[in-house]
Chains A and B, each alone.
Chain A
Amino acid sequence: MNPENAIEVRNVKKKFKIFYDKGNDLKDRILFRNRNHYEDRWVLKGISFSVKKGEAVGLIGHNGCGKSTTLKLLTKILYPDEGTVEMAGRVSSLIELGAGFHPDMTGRENIYTNASIFGLTKKEIDRRLQEIIDFSELEEFIDNPVRTYSSGMYMRLAFSVAINVDANILLIDEILAVGDANFQKKCFDKLREIKAHGTTIVIVSHALEQIEQICETSYWIEDGLIKESGTPKTVHDHYLKSMEEKRNQQLEKQHHQENQAKPPKLETSETEQLPDFCEKTAVRMGTGAVRFTNAILCNLQNQKQFIFNSEDKIKIILEYESFQPDLKGNFGYGIFREDGLHCYGTNILIETGSYIPVQKKGRVEIILQNSLLPAKYFLDIAVHSHDGIIFDDIRQVLSFVVSSDKYDIGVCRLPSAFSWR
């Protein structure tokens, strides 16, 4: 092992036995011997990395990719089937907070129990006791049984113990979401302090910003292999992009399925059937003097589209027919985010200052510059008379999804130029 390194993981493979029908007792073993079939599932397929002393690294990846298994191998809860894991120094893991807490015992007593599980001796705990109590901010409750604590207090106490176990290597699994914002900040500062003192840190988290703030390197694990490693920001951007692509594919598939799985029309239905171009959830109102016959969302090349980029131009094509002569109408649309937020709405009157004559059969096209941020949206369309009578109004006529390569947040993009001196 390289003396500069705190952790060396070499070509580690790990498999789990997945039992089709697990029988752990005698009856099952004898009677259903042939049921004891199992399948080897390789969770890690050969992972190698090393962490220098005093360095912090993050492990990221979607659920089930093997990152938590990797962490468990580092703590020696699990052992690799192939390859080696070497660690230099005392390891403390913040995987399970409050291990061994007894609800009837006081906070103080539980500090001793909990810290002893991390391998501290009584003397060492005595020395840290005050620090732990101070950090948890539970001074006045420390001699009450922990069952009287709120869950936040409980976690604060547990975290204080775990983080005050002067370890050489600290392993953290998804637990920085402890307590209120103040306490979280405190935990984070403490982590930085620990790191500054030369402790090696490995974090598994979905909170990518946290990793970016504290780690030098990020490992993106996918399907039991390291897919990418490097500067956290770069790795995370690639990771997020791939996640988004996956999600969009799923959405598109779902959208496709939903539209195909439309229930057959019932002729006895009292409410008017929605035409085929509408979403299933659409709601239609209006006198019917003018009726939309089609609504399409597409790109400028008139190709129907479901997913748009934040910077795309979107074309809405509306086709209608009229059942009364000589009408003047006002066509408009509105966009709502999935959670009901009204993002935008406008109509011909607002944009041009006048109504347009309604044809027997006509078509209205709207080209808009999208600047909405990633989410699912619904389109509403309507046509009104000049005195406000609703001819036709279809809420949620179409849905679409916006994706983006940038990670700005909010409702829509406000193009921003930064300058500095």
Chain B
Amino acid sequence: MKLFKELYDYREMIFSLVRKDLRGRYKGSVLGFLWTFINPLFQLIIYTIAFSFILPSPIEKYYLHLFVALIPWIFFSSSLQGGANSIMAAKNLVSKIYFPREVIPISYVTSCFVNMLLTFIIIFFVVIFSGVGLNPLAIACLPVIMLAEYIMALGLALLFSAITVFFRDMEHILSIITMAWIYLTPVLYPIDMISDEKIQKLFYLNPMTSVIVAYRDVLYYAKVPDLSTLAMAFLFGIISLVFGELVFSKLKIRFAEVL
């Protein structure tokens, strides 16, 4: 409880770090903030071309099928990898100034999250123009899914950022894990492709599966996701957050000594 109050007191620090990260990223480039949109736009164009002409997929509108899952995945994986490194990267602050240490991973994950939200503007355009259309009831579920994914990503970022301080290999181990993880999650393929129900259940043990399936339900199939899928996603999110913070709070008091 004390932590919540303190984090609330330091909310401006979180905002300003997020702002600094978002604005600092493209500072100095000619197009500046526009890159936030140009990047995913071209990603989409490339996928469309690639999966229409070079590698045609039997799945209808595969580019959309892929895109609505890939953007949330990129948020998740960059939160995980960058988040794990965030305390190390903020060495100067952490070893010199007091503030609740959670601020650093929180603002990192939040800035990735804001980035994803901005990309969603493009997703909405594409969803509308591709003819899938927006189902208002389904769209209403979107914030819930996003929140579930956010707390999950945050939990893992807390966990791994703390571990990385003491065990620097974690960063590299994580990059291998995320590389494998994307194939264990139905990002590039639909979950139905796994025909064996038992194996499919096994896949649902992967916390990201529920999240990605829910995103795809809303944006590709324009339907309200299963309540159970949503509940699963949330459950995983909360477990990850609680566990992550537990480990983080144990380790944070020694950060300044090791950095």
Decide: B98 and A93 in contact? CB cutoff 8 A. yes
Across the interface, A117 reaches (CB within 8 A) one of B93, B95, B257, namely B93
Decide: A113 and B20 in contact? CB cutoff 8 A. yes
CB distance from B2 to the nearest CB of A (A): 13
Decide: B256 and A78 in contact? CB cutoff 8 A. yes
Majority SS at the chain B contact face: helix
Chain A residues contacting B9 (CB-CB under 8 Å) are 119, 121
Q: Which residues of A (89-117) have their CB < 8 Å from a CB of B? A: 91, 93, 95-96, 99-100, 102, 104-105, 112-113, 115-117
CB distance from A357 to the nearest CB of B (A): 73
Decide: A77 and B95 in contact? CB cutoff 8 A. yes
Decide: A116 and B28 in contact? CB cutoff 8 A. no
Decide: B12 and A120 in contact? CB cutoff 8 A. yes
Taken together as a complex, chains A and B put the C-alpha atoms of A116 and B168 apart, in Å, by: 29
Decide: B253 and A75 in contact? CB cutoff 8 A. no
Decide: B12 and A116 in contact? CB cutoff 8 A. yes
Decide: A95 and B96 in contact? CB cutoff 8 A. yes
CB distance from A106 to the nearest CB of B (A): 11
Decide: A104 and B166 in contact? CB cutoff 8 A. no
Taken together as a complex, chains A and B put the C-alpha atoms of A400 and B167 apart, in Å, by: 54
Chain A residues contacting B95 (CB-CB under 8 Å) are 77
Which residue in chain A gives the minimum CB-CB distance to B14? A116
Is B92 in contact with chain A by the CB < 8 A criterion?
A: yes
Q: With A119-B9, A119-B99 as given contacts, are A99 and B92 in contact (CB-CB < 8 Å)?
A: yes
Is B27 in contact with chain A by the CB < 8 A criterion?
A: yes
Taken together as a complex, chains A and B put the C-alpha atoms of A100 and B99 apart, in Å, by: 13
Decide: A104 and B10 in contact? CB cutoff 8 A. no
Chain B residues contacting A78 (CB-CB under 8 Å) are 256-257
Is B13 in contact with chain A by the CB < 8 A criterion?
A: yes
Taken together as a complex, chains A and B put the C-alpha atoms of A118 and B93 apart, in Å, by: 11
Decide: B13 and A25 in contact? CB cutoff 8 A. no
Chain A residues contacting B167 (CB-CB under 8 Å) are 24-26
Size band of the B side of the interface? 20 to 34
Q: With A78-B257, A100-B20, A104-B28 as given contacts, are A116 and B15 in contact (CB-CB < 8 Å)?
A: yes
CB distance from A370 to the nearest CB of B (A): 47
Is A361 in contact with chain B by the CB < 8 A criterion?
A: no
Decide: B96 and A99 in contact? CB cutoff 8 A. yes
Chain A residues contacting B96 (CB-CB under 8 Å) are 77, 95-96, 99
Decide: A100 and B93 in contact? CB cutoff 8 A. yes
Chain A residues contacting B24 (CB-CB under 8 Å) are 102, 104-105
Taken together as a complex, chains A and B put the C-alpha atoms of A76 and B93 apart, in Å, by: 13
Per-position contact with A for B1-45: 1 when CB-CB < 8 Å, else 0? 000000001111101110110011001100000000000000000
Across the interface, A104 reaches (CB within 8 A) one of B27, B93, B97, B99, namely B27
Across the interface, A75 reaches (CB within 8 A) one of B10, B17, B23, B97, namely B97
Decide: A105 and B20 in contact? CB cutoff 8 A. yes
Is B197 in contact with chain A by the CB < 8 A criterion?
A: no
Across the interface, A116 reaches (CB within 8 A) one of B16, B23, B94, B166, namely B16
Chain A residues contacting B92 (CB-CB under 8 Å) are 96, 99
Is B196 in contact with chain A by the CB < 8 A criterion?
A: no
Chain B residues contacting A26 (CB-CB under 8 Å) are 167, 169
Per-position contact with B for A372-404: 1 when CB-CB < 8 Å, else 0? 000000000000000000000000000000000
Chain A residues contacting B257 (CB-CB under 8 Å) are 16-17, 78
CB distance from A227 to the nearest CB of B (A): 25
Is A141 in contact with chain B by the CB < 8 A criterion?
A: no
Per-position contact with A for B190-208: 1 when CB-CB < 8 Å, else 0? 0000000000000000000
Is A161 in contact with chain B by the CB < 8 A criterion?
A: no
Is A72 in contact with chain B by the CB < 8 A criterion?
A: yes
Taken together as a complex, chains A and B put the C-alpha atoms of A22 and B43 apart, in Å, by: 43
Q: With A78-B256, A105-B23, A117-B13 as given contacts, are A99 and B28 in contact (CB-CB < 8 Å)?
A: no
Chain B residues contacting A119 (CB-CB under 8 Å) are 9-10, 13, 99
Taken together as a complex, chains A and B put the C-alpha atoms of A141 and B99 apart, in Å, by: 29
Residue with the greatest number of chain A CB neighbours at <10 A, chosen from B12, B17, B169, B256: B12
Residue with the greatest number of chain B CB neighbours at <10 A, chosen from A100, A116, A121: A116
Chain B residues contacting A105 (CB-CB under 8 Å) are 20, 23-24, 27
CB distance from B37 to the nearest CB of A (A): 21
Taken together as a complex, chains A and B put the C-alpha atoms of A91 and B99 apart, in Å, by: 10
CB distance from B57 to the nearest CB of A (A): 39
Chain B residues contacting A75 (CB-CB under 8 Å) are 97-98
Is A122 in contact with chain B by the CB < 8 A criterion?
A: yes
Chain B residues contacting A117 (CB-CB under 8 Å) are 13, 93, 97, 99
Decide: A77 and B98 in contact? CB cutoff 8 A. yes
CB distance from B42 to the nearest CB of A (A): 25
Which residue in chain B gives the minimum CB-CB distance to A104? B27
CB distance from B168 to the nearest CB of A (A): 5
Is A290 in contact with chain B by the CB < 8 A criterion?
A: no
CB distance from B17 to the nearest CB of A (A): 8
Taken together as a complex, chains A and B put the C-alpha atoms of A338 and B98 apart, in Å, by: 45
Q: Which residues of A (17-50) have their CB < 8 Å from a CB of B? A: 17, 24-27
Taken together as a complex, chains A and B put the C-alpha atoms of A269 and B242 apart, in Å, by: 80
Is A125 in contact with chain B by the CB < 8 A criterion?
A: yes
Which residue in chain A gives the minimum CB-CB distance to B171? A25
Q: With A24-B167, A77-B98 as given contacts, are A99 and B10 in contact (CB-CB < 8 Å)?
A: no
CB distance from A68 to the nearest CB of B (A): 11
Which residue in chain B gives the minimum CB-CB distance to A117? B13
Is A183 in contact with chain B by the CB < 8 A criterion?
A: no
- Can you name 10 A-B pairs with beta carbons within 8 Å? A24-B166, A77-B95, A78-B256, A91-B98, A93-B97, A95-B97, A100-B17, A105-B27, A116-B13, A125-B12
Can you add 9 more A-B contacts, CB < 8 Å, to A76-B98, A113-B17? A26-B169, A75-B98, A77-B97, A95-B97, A96-B92, A100-B20, A104-B28, A113-B20, A116-B10
The 6 closest A-B pairs by CB, nearest first: A96-B96, A116-B12, A116-B13, A26-B169, A116-B16, A79-B253
